Amino acid sequence: MEKIWLEKSYPSDVPFEIDADKYPSIVAMFTKYSSQFSDKTAFINMGVSISYAELSLQATAFAAYLQQDLGLQRGDKFAIMVPNCLQYPIALFGALLAGLTVVNVNPLYTARELEHQLKDSDAKAMLIIENFAQTLEKVVDNTAVKHVIMTSLGDRLGLVKGTVVNCMVKYVKKMVPAFKLPHAVRFNTALSLGLGLKLSPVDLCGDDLAFLQYTGGTTGLSKGAMLTHRNMVANLQQAKAAIFPLLEEGNELVVTALPLYHIFALTANCLTFFTMGGTNLLITNPRDMPNFVKELSKYPFTAITGVNTLFNGLLNTPGFSELNFSTLKMSLGGGMAVQRPVAERWQKVTG
């Protein structure tokens, strides 16, 4: 039978099918690609980079801390409530290496929203950026969370730069409201402790739950979508097959301005480009468009993902149209359709 829905729709260089069972888990993919691209840059944030090898080392240390120090077991839920910063991929892959299920949390949640998600997911532990610790303080006693790991924005930026950033955020911009979580452990302390512990490998399979990814809650209470490792591996294989003809392994840099706690950037940026040995340029605050454009001017980015408002915002920011777009190969819009006038202007400006 002629499969016209395939043969007349797919580009000639995109396969009709993928092997969803090529890897038993995201952890297997992480292990493969962190070794294959060990010397490549995996993530950049605020001018500081981390290689695939360094990420593997730090994620493994974090996993060992979660498993051996906190005593978290395979299948336990681990919440991550941080913006786009280097702590995110370290915690993400660390939790998965420990066999945990990741629960991504929007840092802008109200106390009511946060309490619902933590209770609904039955999260046992979480990583939170201190800017929003006051919100957690209000509800943590009503949840199953027993272990809180605290981080500051500059914690992985090196001693000097990290100290400057943290002081600016806390004391100059006053972006850290007072809070009291006396038993919280600092993220860098957790990593240091983890380096002295040995991770017991967890034999994950495709049916193990990788994420409880919560919906936006626009039609009622936010609901956790259950995403297994096989779900994610299949999606990543599909995404890679679709864009691979456009891109080159080990030589791509994707602009990651959309929050990694949303499924779009998590999949299309963080995980997909990881399987290609690409670099994620993490933008912590894309609402600050002038600084966003300034950051873009420093790197020969080859791909960018966004939504209509982000594309439109960049187009209307002074200096954006003067950037060098000669290396840009792919722009990917998600969330909803990019409006035709915005798409046409974007194509005209970026080429």
* pLDDT, tens digit (0-9, with 9 covering 90-100), for 309-339: 999 999 999 999 999 999 999 999 988 889 9
**Does the residue 342 lie in any domain?**
no
Q: Are strands 224-228 and 209-214 parallel, antiparallel or unpaired?
A: antiparallel
User: Which CATH number characterizes residue 216's domain?
Assistant: 3.40.50.980
**Does the residue 22 lie in any domain?**
no
**Does the residue 207 lie in any domain?**
yes
Name the percent of the chain lying above pLDDT 90: 89
Q: What is the pLDDT of residue 81?
A: 98
> Does the structure show a pLDDT above 80 at 6?
no
**Does the residue 134 lie in any domain?**
yes
Q: What is the pLDDT of residue 110?
A: 95
> Does the structure show a pLDDT above 80 at 218?
no
- Report residue 244's pLDDT band, with 50, 70 and 90 as the boundaries: confident
pLDDT tens digits for 38-57? 999 999 999 999 999 999 99
Sign of CA dihedral 332, 337, 341, 342: negative
**Does the residue 60 lie in any domain?**
yes
Q: What is the pLDDT of residue 1?
A: 64
**Does the residue 336 lie in any domain?**
no
> Does the structure show a pLDDT above 70 at 246?
yes
Q: What is the pLDDT of residue 245?
A: 84
Computed over every residue of the chain, the mean pLDDT equals 95
> Does the structure show a pLDDT above 70 at 282?
yes
Determine the Cα–Cα distance for residues 187 and 129; give it in Å rounded to an integer. 9
Q: How many domains does the chain have?
A: 1
Question: CA distances (Å), 80 to each of 107, 112, 126, 335, in order?
Answer: 9, 17, 6, 22
Q: What is the pLDDT of residue 63?
A: 98
pLDDT tens digits for 82-104? 999 999 999 999 999 999 999 99
**Does the residue 111 lie in any domain?**
yes
**Does the residue 8 lie in any domain?**
no
Which residue range is the domain that position 151 belongs to? 29-37+51-238
> How far, rounded to the nearest angstrom, does the alpha carbon of residue 29 sit from its chain's CA centroid?
16
- Range of weakest confidence among 178-192, 211-225, 301-315: 211-225
Q: What is the pLDDT of residue 129?
A: 98
